[in-house]
Amino acid sequence: MTSLQPPVATTPPRSQGSAFGFLAVQVVVLAAAHAFGGPPWVILGVLACLGQIMADFRLASLLPLVPALLWAFAQAATGNRELFFPYAIYLAAHVVVTLWPRGFARAAAAGAGLVGAFLLIRLLQRATPGVLAVEAAVAASILMATLGAAVVGGHRLWGRWLIPLAASLAAYAGLAF
């Protein structure tokens, strides 16, 4: 007679430690986004984390998300709320690069979804139509460039770090318009 109970594992599976690290980094990222940016920053952070979970549930693939917090720290230090834009673009580019191996359409949709969420938040913050139009145009341009860059370097370690950084710096430069 066999038992219907699953066998009791004597040691935890290897992935539990990495899953704990993955979730711990996500909690730290979201807590820092809240502390230094506020609820809108957390909303975009949650969306980026969801995209990350859909793509890859490994700690190493999540770590390139952490530099986005530099924008939150800079915003807290300077009081410049415009830094929400490069933060949002960093997250969108990170999601594009992370989802790139799963297909162009999925990566493009995730990046566009994050940009759309950013624009919705900006609308709720009562940004003027002119400001929204500029932010949308700059974001769309950067998103297209990010998709092109993902073709070249999205599957490489340097691309996972440099593409989102370059995208957010382009967004920062776009604030001048």
CA–CA gap between residue 30 and residue 131 (Å, rounded): 27
Place of tokens 């994050």: 114
In the chain, what are the domain boundaries?
A: 16-174
Quick: pLDDT tens for 12-50. Answer: 444 556 778 888 888 988 999 999 999 999 999 999 988
Predicted structure pTM score: 0.85
